[in-house]
Structure 1
């Protein structure tokens, strides 16, 4: 036996020092393999819409309502089912409302507790008792465990025991117990949460979403281009900072910037008011930060010829004498010719006052403790892509050439494509935050990932300048990477899955980034079911374009189901009227045989552990250890 293997088994023997302890663990792990696979919940493109996100997270894209309806459709009215669901989603708020509207008596508490215990019992059935116990709130773990597993016996001793516990709970602190039960139900409903990018921008409360995600028991995040933009800003990229500030002003999300993260815009606004005196303060600030942004972006493009983004060097093509600009080889009329800080001889150089604004903003971003904490969370729990239980998750695209083949991209002296390109992007993105000695490379690359046509998080030629300063909408057209044409083809998706080491037969690509325009007949299921677009559509401004409030995905032991959601109105309506988000369910794929833990990534790890334990058992019995 090799020395490293011998050391490994000796260490393993310290954990399992006897044949009996080994046998017990082998039996336990083998039993776990034969439990149903846990439910996975996929969400994407949340864009700061906290209330809608929170509701879909609470109702697990309708999973909880489905369980309640299955249990009580024949014994409870529709309104009673809706109320128990709302109580699970928002226990504190709903309890308060019920007490104010009609009051709560002993009978109500008995009935409600019995119903919630039964719901928790059903949801816990696919997990080991140990795992359920770990999911319980510490203060009530023993009590809940007893209630979930009380069984009838000949003399009904367990039933009496159960009833006595309920009576004691009601007499002491039933509200707190209901809140704890609701939390357990939601935790048991979903075993793993996947966020496939874009938590930030457009909506007003991205910071609340991250605070909520930080409390989740099991999740991963695939970075979106809006996430990487904020990460780059927190790392100190002035170009990323300018984009974040510009988006915040444009989408009126300054509360996140100023109140949540403590970013001061005072110096920018004072500079803008003096530089653009005919505009209102916020319009002046928007113009000022836009010009600063275009200058900083030009500096990055010139610093990094490998990016091949020279077509975005627009400022040098402005002719203020005739009020025109050349974009993509075409001359357009400008809708604004007042650029007092633009030096035609060196258009990408910041003036002294612009640099002072950029430096002040940078200081504010890198010293925001809450933003740093949130970005650390994104780095710790996030990545460019994720392979999980046979599925490939990423936000944007796998860059392809015009023939549908993997696009070879030259960066940092290397020619990369496909998975190698994603891995390199992940590595360099971490340089910006963790490696101060090589930080400029990482800082520039964060901006590249945000908006480059060949970025795996973007994949289109963003026309920010044209949309701001040209009225002719033909200049606004943003050419996309060929990926967005080819990803309808099964052959292309199978090629991508193979590139990431996945078999084509049972694997899928889970993709975000692009809203599904349902009103125009677009479908989220593409390439004969090999690729699923789950842009959440949470952003309210997209609702008229998409026709719905986007898609989420549920993957349980029976298969994959897409959930199409109608717009969420408000928490007030959800509480007062027991109004849930209406969701239409579409089966994507049904497993021929119910998936067990054995069929998952976790099951593969457990199986290897069992093999090692059996080897150790043999070594015990033969006297080798």
Structure 2
């Protein structure tokens, strides 16, 4: 090793050990988005109120409340807010100058916890040199005051102020949140999961824990016809077929034509009220009939999976062969069938698709697997996603850890091997990745495992004894609709149980938490999202409008910075246009989960551990070089 290489090692050691002493960056946790792009987009842009906090910290003595609100929205939506202001008034040179000055103050403040190298990488190429001068070389003394003033004035004179302000706004968003965690369920119910995915694909640093609604989309693209049927049925149920036809360019003509000629109007299958658009009468009737078609196709395909996978222990969920005329016998009890739409069922072989149904399913599967945008989104889900993640002393998991009533891990047997606890989740994830890598295999074991994750009793994503889709459609008695939750959802209130789960994942730190989504927290009924003496935090608070009457709020998010954890509960979001016009921010209330006695540093994080290991290796290389040079 040369002296030059030795000096480079020393410089890198100094750099890494310095980084370890920086404050920990802010993590932003968000869950159960269910296609609610506008609310998600707003909370992403405002950092769950983090930007507003910084604006008030910096300017509460200088600006009025109205001016601070306007500055916040200029940071959230720079182009749209400037356009709105231009329609109301002429923006003077003084306004442009003061606005740029204010934004520079915020950028300097929000970037102060990062290395210059990290900040430099985030700067837009167009103004990188100028921004670096204004952020790092800033000097309020008379030495350079005229220099900095001239830079800003020239930006305004050259009509570049609007673009410059936008860059400063997006830099602020970038620096306020260091890393984003999406704890599942991007898809289904709401209209624009595709826009959420597009946004996530451009985000600077994130990870995703798959939710049960994400997994059926992954399953559909991976070749699971049963998952595909669920996706189509749910889109029809929520009046959301535009997502398939317009966003993902799936041609539903064959399914629509089949449904129109085969099924009747059946009000039990009418689509849920769509709060985002008014469906025409024709669209409502089509969705009603297509939902019937896919409900029957789903029952048939799921029955086929259960038949070929006896190890799933789901034979009791094959219900079509239990139908006797207008009755069905379940567990020895007979029930009257309602809302029948069984005209395509061959009662000699009830789980066999008709020739036309087979053609429709194969056509849809081929389209899903060849939709460029859908495949890009699913590949990104796989790249950034996992079933669970251990990160900065926290276990992030969408659903549950299947437990017995005594708190022990439930075991599941697949291919004569038992899996439980962490091993079970690793087994599930391995098969998800296998299935996605081999989409041409449509009835293989790995693809069927993805479907099991959607509705199997010991799935970590489902967490119930059975999915009662058939009963809710076709049986009136509410007692048959009940889905019994896994013991986990009761036992997660016990700190000892949570500690046992955390230890299984190697998290033995006193400040470790489990962070869950999946089950909406009914704040309106007094339920707390913080459980088990703070060891468990549930952040599904109802982003989906379908849940907000049940939860009483419009979503939880979690912030974890160098000072500790804060849980934010959000009120419903109006809409982007109204919010920008009126500076109408989402009203959020904060609750401290954990407050750190000593401010957390990078050395206390998962990244810090990796940097410590890198430093140790560099020191060893340097030591070996020194020994070699001295001999």
Question: Could you say which TM-score interval applies, normalised by the shorter chain?
Answer: over 0.9
- Asked if structure 2 preserves the Cα contact closer than 8 Å seen for 1:453 and 1:480, the reply is no
The worse-fitting range, judged by mean Cα deviation, of 222-231 and 443-452 is 443-452
The structural deviation recorded for 1:489 is 0.5
1:507 is the counterpart of 2:512 = yes
**Partner residue of 1:159 out of 140, 145, 156:** 145
Change (3 A) 1:121 1:80: same
Structure 2 match to 1:267: 254
Distance in 1 (alpha carbons) for counterparts of 2:536 and 2:37:
27
Change (3 A) 1:198 1:278: closer
Distance in 2 (alpha carbons) for counterparts of 1:555 and 1:77:
29
The structural deviation recorded for 1:128 is 0.6
- Asked if structure 2 preserves the Cα contact closer than 8 Å seen for 1:32 and 1:128, the reply is yes
Q: For residue 157 of structure 1, give the secondary structure of its aligned residue in structure 2.
A: coil
Change (3 A) 1:340 1:593: same
Distance in 1 (alpha carbons) for counterparts of 2:359 and 2:629:
71
Distance in 2 (alpha carbons) for counterparts of 1:217 and 1:306:
42
Q: For residue 543 of structure 2, give the secondary structure of its aligned residue in structure 1.
A: coil
The structural deviation recorded for 1:437 is 7.9
After superposition, the CA RMSD in angstroms is: 1.5
1:362 is the counterpart of 2:348 = no
Structure 2 match to 1:10: none
- Asked if structure 2 preserves the Cα contact closer than 8 Å seen for 1:232 and 1:240, the reply is yes
Distance in 2 (alpha carbons) for counterparts of 1:92 and 1:437:
45
The worse-fitting range, judged by mean Cα deviation, of 427-436 and 290-299 is 427-436
Structure 1 match to 2:450: 446
Change (3 A) 1:471 1:162: same
Q: For residue 523 of structure 1, give the secondary structure of its aligned residue in structure 2.
A: coil
- Asked if structure 1 preserves the Cα contact closer than 8 Å seen for 2:336 and 2:475, the reply is yes
Change (3 A) 1:387 1:251: same
* Partner deviation per Cα, 1:243-291 (whole Å, 9 max, x = no partner): 0000000011111111001112111111112212455433221111110
Q: Which stretches in structure 2 are left out of the alignment for 5+ residues?
A: 267-284
5 Å-filtered alignment, 1:183-194, equals: 183-194=170-181
* Partner deviation per Cα, 1:36-92 (whole Å, 9 max, x = no partner): 000000000000000000000000100010010111112111111111000111111
Distance in 1 (alpha carbons) for counterparts of 2:524 and 2:565:
23
Q: For residue 431 of structure 1, give the secondary structure of its aligned residue in structure 2.
A: helix
5 Å-filtered alignment, 1:488-567, equals: 488-567=493-572
**Partner residue of 2:24 out of 26, 34, 37:** 37
The structural deviation recorded for 1:438 is 6.2
Structure 1 match to 2:213: 226
After TM superposition, the runs of 4+ consecutive aligned structure 1 residues lying more than 6 A away are: none
**Partner residue of 1:177 out of 140, 150, 164:** 164
Structure 1 match to 2:202: 215
Distance in 2 (alpha carbons) for counterparts of 1:126 and 1:113:
21
* Residues paired across the two proteins, number: 609
Q: For residue 379 of structure 2, give the secondary structure of its aligned residue in structure 1.
A: helix
- Asked if structure 1 preserves the Cα contact closer than 8 Å seen for 2:395 and 2:515, the reply is yes
Change (3 A) 1:141 1:292: same
- If the length of structure 2 is used for normalisation, what is the TM-score? 0.94
**Partner residue of 2:463 out of 456, 459, 463:** 459
- Asked if structure 2 preserves the Cα contact closer than 8 Å seen for 1:235 and 1:443, the reply is yes
- Asked if structure 2 preserves the Cα contact closer than 8 Å seen for 1:236 and 1:365, the reply is no
**Partner residue of 1:198 out of 185, 190, 193:** 185
- Asked if structure 1 preserves the Cα contact closer than 8 Å seen for 2:265 and 2:288, the reply is no
The structural deviation recorded for 1:532 is 0.4
Distance in 1 (alpha carbons) for counterparts of 2:129 and 2:258:
61
1:142 is the counterpart of 2:145 = no
Change (3 A) 1:227 1:71: same
Structure 2 match to 1:588: 593
Distance in 2 (alpha carbons) for counterparts of 1:387 and 1:430:
19
Q: For residue 581 of structure 1, give the secondary structure of its aligned residue in structure 2.
A: coil
Q: Which stretches in structure 1 are left out of the alignment for 5+ residues?
A: 1-12
Change (3 A) 1:74 1:473: same
